[in-house]
Amino acid sequence: MSDNDWFPSADEPTPMRAAQAGMKPALPKRFYKEAGVEERDGLHFLTLDGRTAKTPNRQTLAVPSRDLAQALADEWARQGAQIDPSTMPITRIVNSAIDGVTPRRAEVVDDLVRYAGSDLLHYRVSEPERLAQAQGAAWNPILDWARDSHGARFVLGEGVMHVAQPEEAIDAIHQAVERIQSPIALAALHVMTTLSGSVLIALAHASGRIEADEAWKAAHVDELFQESIWGEDYEASERRKRREGDFLAASKVFRLSQP
Protein backbone atom coordinates (compact mmCIF):
# COMPACT_ATOMS: atom_id res chain seq x y z
CA MET A 1 0.00 0.00 0.00
CA SER A 2 1.37 3.44 -0.87
CA ASP A 3 1.59 6.30 1.61
CA ASN A 4 -1.57 7.91 0.27
CA ASP A 5 -3.81 4.96 -0.60
CA TRP A 6 -6.45 6.19 1.84
CA PHE A 7 -6.64 9.60 0.09
CA PRO A 8 -9.19 9.68 -2.73
CA SER A 9 -7.83 9.80 -6.27
CA ALA A 10 -7.81 13.21 -7.90
CA ASP A 11 -9.65 11.86 -10.94
CA GLU A 12 -12.47 14.20 -9.93
CA PRO A 13 -13.23 16.82 -12.61
CA THR A 14 -12.52 19.80 -10.35
CA PRO A 15 -9.93 20.49 -7.65
CA MET A 16 -12.59 21.32 -5.09
CA ARG A 17 -14.36 17.98 -5.45
CA ALA A 18 -11.03 16.20 -5.48
CA ALA A 19 -9.89 18.02 -2.35
CA GLN A 20 -13.14 17.22 -0.50
CA ALA A 21 -13.84 13.74 -1.87
CA GLY A 22 -15.13 11.19 0.62
CA MET A 23 -12.64 9.47 2.85
CA LYS A 24 -12.43 5.77 3.62
CA PRO A 25 -14.34 5.04 6.85
CA ALA A 26 -11.51 3.08 8.48
CA LEU A 27 -8.59 5.39 9.22
CA PRO A 28 -5.14 3.83 8.78
CA LYS A 29 -2.61 3.65 11.56
CA ARG A 30 0.29 6.03 11.44
CA PHE A 31 3.16 4.11 9.84
CA TYR A 32 5.97 6.68 10.12
CA LYS A 33 7.75 8.53 12.91
CA GLU A 34 8.95 11.70 11.21
CA ALA A 35 7.75 13.91 8.37
CA GLY A 36 10.33 16.08 6.70
CA VAL A 37 11.34 18.08 3.64
CA GLU A 38 14.09 17.29 1.19
CA GLU A 39 15.29 19.60 -1.59
CA ARG A 40 16.43 18.18 -4.92
CA ASP A 41 16.73 19.73 -8.37
CA GLY A 42 14.94 22.92 -7.33
CA LEU A 43 11.93 21.11 -5.86
CA HIS A 44 10.96 20.39 -2.27
CA PHE A 45 9.78 16.86 -1.48
CA LEU A 46 7.65 15.63 1.41
CA THR A 47 9.44 12.73 3.10
CA LEU A 48 8.14 10.22 5.62
CA ASP A 49 10.99 8.61 7.53
CA GLY A 50 13.25 9.62 4.68
CA ARG A 51 11.07 8.11 1.93
CA THR A 52 9.61 10.41 -0.71
CA ALA A 53 5.81 10.53 -0.36
CA LYS A 54 3.48 9.93 -3.29
CA THR A 55 0.11 11.32 -4.33
CA PRO A 56 -2.91 9.00 -4.70
CA ASN A 57 -2.08 8.67 -8.42
CA ARG A 58 1.50 7.68 -7.54
CA GLN A 59 3.03 11.01 -8.51
CA THR A 60 5.93 12.33 -6.46
CA LEU A 61 4.67 14.75 -3.80
CA ALA A 62 6.92 17.70 -4.55
CA VAL A 63 6.28 21.45 -4.61
CA PRO A 64 8.33 24.45 -5.75
CA SER A 65 8.29 26.24 -2.38
CA ARG A 66 10.08 25.05 0.75
CA ASP A 67 7.52 26.83 2.94
CA LEU A 68 4.69 24.94 1.25
CA ALA A 69 6.57 21.66 1.61
CA GLN A 70 7.05 22.43 5.30
CA ALA A 71 3.31 23.12 5.65
CA LEU A 72 2.70 19.66 4.17
CA ALA A 73 5.19 18.09 6.56
CA ASP A 74 3.58 19.88 9.50
CA GLU A 75 0.18 18.36 8.63
CA TRP A 76 1.70 14.87 8.55
CA ALA A 77 3.65 15.48 11.75
CA ARG A 78 0.47 16.53 13.59
CA GLN A 79 -1.27 13.22 12.92
CA GLY A 80 -1.81 10.99 15.92
CA ALA A 81 -2.00 7.23 16.15
CA GLN A 82 -4.24 7.27 13.05
CA ILE A 83 -4.01 9.33 9.88
CA ASP A 84 -7.11 11.41 9.23
CA PRO A 85 -7.13 13.01 5.75
CA SER A 86 -10.02 15.27 6.77
CA THR A 87 -7.55 17.15 8.99
CA MET A 88 -5.06 17.57 6.13
CA PRO A 89 -6.55 20.19 3.75
CA ILE A 90 -3.18 21.38 2.46
CA THR A 91 -2.20 17.85 1.47
CA ARG A 92 -5.57 17.31 -0.22
CA ILE A 93 -5.24 20.50 -2.26
CA VAL A 94 -1.66 19.75 -3.32
CA ASN A 95 -2.65 16.19 -4.24
CA SER A 96 -5.49 17.49 -6.40
CA ALA A 97 -3.15 20.01 -8.06
CA ILE A 98 -0.53 17.42 -8.98
CA ASP A 99 -2.92 14.65 -9.99
CA GLY A 100 -5.86 16.63 -11.31
CA VAL A 101 -5.02 20.19 -12.35
CA THR A 102 -1.75 19.57 -14.15
CA PRO A 103 -3.33 17.31 -16.82
CA ARG A 104 -6.61 19.28 -16.93
CA ARG A 105 -5.55 22.91 -16.70
CA ALA A 106 -7.90 24.17 -19.44
CA GLU A 107 -10.91 22.48 -17.81
CA VAL A 108 -10.12 24.05 -14.45
CA VAL A 109 -9.69 27.51 -15.97
CA ASP A 110 -12.99 27.20 -17.82
CA ASP A 111 -14.76 26.06 -14.66
CA LEU A 112 -13.46 29.08 -12.76
CA VAL A 113 -14.46 31.50 -15.52
CA ARG A 114 -18.02 30.10 -15.51
CA TYR A 115 -18.41 31.50 -12.00
CA ALA A 116 -17.92 35.01 -13.37
CA GLY A 117 -21.16 34.71 -15.33
CA SER A 118 -23.26 34.09 -12.23
CA ASP A 119 -21.05 35.35 -9.45
CA LEU A 120 -22.49 35.85 -5.97
CA LEU A 121 -21.63 39.55 -6.14
CA HIS A 122 -23.97 40.21 -9.09
CA TYR A 123 -27.19 39.48 -7.20
CA ARG A 124 -28.51 41.98 -4.67
CA VAL A 125 -31.53 42.66 -2.51
CA SER A 126 -33.38 45.96 -2.27
CA GLU A 127 -34.75 45.17 1.18
CA PRO A 128 -34.30 44.88 4.03
CA GLU A 129 -32.25 48.03 3.72
CA ARG A 130 -29.67 46.91 6.27
CA LEU A 131 -28.88 43.78 4.25
CA ALA A 132 -28.70 45.78 1.01
CA GLN A 133 -26.22 48.13 2.69
CA ALA A 134 -24.17 45.20 4.03
CA GLN A 135 -23.99 43.66 0.56
CA GLY A 136 -22.89 46.94 -0.96
CA ALA A 137 -20.26 47.57 1.70
CA ALA A 138 -18.75 44.12 1.28
CA TRP A 139 -19.13 43.59 -2.46
CA ASN A 140 -18.86 46.98 -4.18
CA PRO A 141 -15.14 47.43 -3.38
CA ILE A 142 -14.44 44.02 -4.96
CA LEU A 143 -16.38 44.95 -8.11
CA ASP A 144 -14.50 48.27 -8.19
CA TRP A 145 -11.23 46.33 -7.97
CA ALA A 146 -12.28 44.04 -10.84
CA ARG A 147 -13.12 47.08 -12.95
CA ASP A 148 -9.98 49.06 -12.10
CA SER A 149 -7.50 46.15 -12.18
CA HIS A 150 -8.91 44.04 -15.01
CA GLY A 151 -11.35 46.25 -16.90
CA ALA A 152 -14.21 43.91 -15.95
CA ARG A 153 -17.51 45.77 -15.63
CA PHE A 154 -20.38 43.59 -14.44
CA VAL A 155 -24.15 44.11 -14.46
CA LEU A 156 -26.00 43.86 -11.15
CA GLY A 157 -29.42 42.33 -10.73
CA GLU A 158 -32.04 42.05 -8.02
CA GLY A 159 -33.23 38.72 -6.71
CA VAL A 160 -32.24 35.38 -8.21
CA MET A 161 -33.14 35.88 -11.87
CA HIS A 162 -30.11 35.31 -14.08
CA VAL A 163 -28.42 38.44 -15.38
CA ALA A 164 -26.37 38.09 -18.58
CA GLN A 165 -22.88 39.55 -18.19
CA PRO A 166 -20.91 41.38 -20.90
CA GLU A 167 -18.54 39.12 -22.83
CA GLU A 168 -15.79 41.68 -22.29
CA ALA A 169 -16.09 41.26 -18.52
CA ILE A 170 -16.01 37.47 -18.74
CA ASP A 171 -12.99 37.63 -21.06
CA ALA A 172 -11.20 39.91 -18.61
CA ILE A 173 -11.65 37.39 -15.81
CA HIS A 174 -10.56 34.60 -18.14
CA GLN A 175 -7.31 36.47 -18.78
CA ALA A 176 -6.81 37.05 -15.05
CA VAL A 177 -7.22 33.35 -14.30
CA GLU A 178 -5.01 32.33 -17.24
CA ARG A 179 -2.17 34.39 -15.79
CA ILE A 180 -1.99 32.01 -12.83
CA GLN A 181 0.56 29.52 -14.12
CA SER A 182 1.10 27.33 -11.06
CA PRO A 183 -1.21 24.27 -10.97
CA ILE A 184 -1.05 24.41 -7.17
CA ALA A 185 -2.12 28.06 -7.09
CA LEU A 186 -4.89 27.31 -9.59
CA ALA A 187 -6.16 24.43 -7.46
CA ALA A 188 -6.15 26.67 -4.39
CA LEU A 189 -8.02 29.40 -6.28
CA HIS A 190 -10.63 26.86 -7.36
CA VAL A 191 -11.18 25.71 -3.78
CA MET A 192 -11.57 29.33 -2.60
CA THR A 193 -13.97 30.07 -5.45
CA THR A 194 -16.14 27.03 -4.81
CA LEU A 195 -16.31 27.62 -1.07
CA SER A 196 -17.15 31.32 -1.44
CA GLY A 197 -19.38 31.05 -4.52
CA SER A 198 -17.41 33.88 -6.09
CA VAL A 199 -14.41 33.89 -8.39
CA LEU A 200 -14.26 37.65 -7.88
CA ILE A 201 -13.87 37.28 -4.10
CA ALA A 202 -11.25 34.57 -4.63
CA LEU A 203 -9.29 36.63 -7.16
CA ALA A 204 -9.47 39.77 -5.03
CA HIS A 205 -8.06 37.86 -2.09
CA ALA A 206 -5.42 36.13 -4.23
CA SER A 207 -4.31 39.53 -5.51
CA GLY A 208 -3.95 40.90 -1.98
CA ARG A 209 -6.89 43.30 -2.33
CA ILE A 210 -8.67 41.77 0.68
CA GLU A 211 -7.52 39.57 3.54
CA ALA A 212 -8.74 36.00 3.98
CA ASP A 213 -11.12 36.78 6.86
CA GLU A 214 -12.59 39.71 4.94
CA ALA A 215 -13.07 37.50 1.89
CA TRP A 216 -14.84 34.84 3.95
CA LYS A 217 -17.16 37.38 5.55
CA ALA A 218 -17.94 38.88 2.14
CA ALA A 219 -18.99 35.44 0.93
CA HIS A 220 -21.43 35.06 3.84
CA VAL A 221 -23.04 38.48 4.16
CA ASP A 222 -26.54 37.05 3.83
CA GLU A 223 -25.98 34.24 6.36
CA LEU A 224 -24.41 36.57 8.90
CA PHE A 225 -27.30 39.01 8.48
CA GLN A 226 -29.86 36.26 9.11
CA GLU A 227 -27.97 35.14 12.20
CA SER A 228 -28.00 38.71 13.54
CA ILE A 229 -31.81 38.58 13.42
CA TRP A 230 -32.73 34.99 14.23
CA GLY A 231 -29.70 33.84 16.16
CA GLU A 232 -27.07 31.28 15.31
CA ASP A 233 -28.00 27.87 13.98
CA TYR A 234 -25.48 25.51 15.56
CA GLU A 235 -25.24 23.02 12.69
CA ALA A 236 -25.02 25.72 10.05
CA SER A 237 -22.41 27.56 12.08
CA GLU A 238 -20.29 24.45 12.56
CA ARG A 239 -20.49 23.63 8.86
CA ARG A 240 -19.41 27.16 8.00
CA LYS A 241 -16.47 26.93 10.40
CA ARG A 242 -15.29 23.70 8.76
CA ARG A 243 -15.56 25.27 5.33
CA GLU A 244 -13.76 28.35 6.57
CA GLY A 245 -10.89 26.11 7.68
CA ASP A 246 -10.67 24.73 4.15
CA PHE A 247 -10.82 28.25 2.72
CA LEU A 248 -7.98 29.42 4.96
CA ALA A 249 -5.94 26.35 3.99
CA ALA A 250 -6.49 27.15 0.31
CA SER A 251 -5.47 30.75 0.97
CA LYS A 252 -2.26 29.52 2.59
CA VAL A 253 -1.54 27.13 -0.27
CA PHE A 254 -2.03 29.92 -2.81
CA ARG A 255 0.27 32.26 -0.91
CA LEU A 256 2.99 29.68 -0.36
CA SER A 257 2.87 28.49 -3.98
CA GLN A 258 3.87 31.89 -5.29
CA PRO A 259 7.51 32.69 -6.13
- What is the widest separation between alpha-carbon atoms in the chain? 60
pLDDT at 21: 58
Domain at 104-257: CATH architecture: Orthogonal Bundle (1.10)
Q: Nearest-CA neighbor of 100 among 180, 16, 164?
A: 16
Average pLDDT, the chain: 92
Asked if CATH classification 3.30.2180.10 holds for the domain at 15-100, the reply, yes or no, is yes
Q: Nearest-CA neighbor of 142 among 118, 156, 121?
A: 121
pLDDT at 232: 84
The pLDDT tens digits of the residues spanning 55-68 come to 999 999 999 999 99
pTM over 0.85: yes
Segments in the chain below pLDDT 70: 1-13, 16-25, 259
Asked if 139 and 221 count as a contact pair (C-beta separation under 8 A), the reply is: yes
C-alpha 115/C-alpha 16 separation (Å) is 14
pLDDT at 78: 97
pLDDT at 26: 81
pLDDT at 23: 47
Integer distance in angstroms from the first to the last C-alpha of the chain? 34
pLDDT at 3: 59
pLDDT at 160: 81
**Domain residue extents for the chain:** 15-100, 104-257
C-alpha 202/C-alpha 215 separation (Å) is 7
CA-to-CA dists, residue 131 to 136, 138, 224, angstroms? 9, 11, 10
Asked if 200 and 121 count as a contact pair (C-beta separation under 8 A), the reply is: yes
* Domains 15-100 and 104-257 agree in fold: no
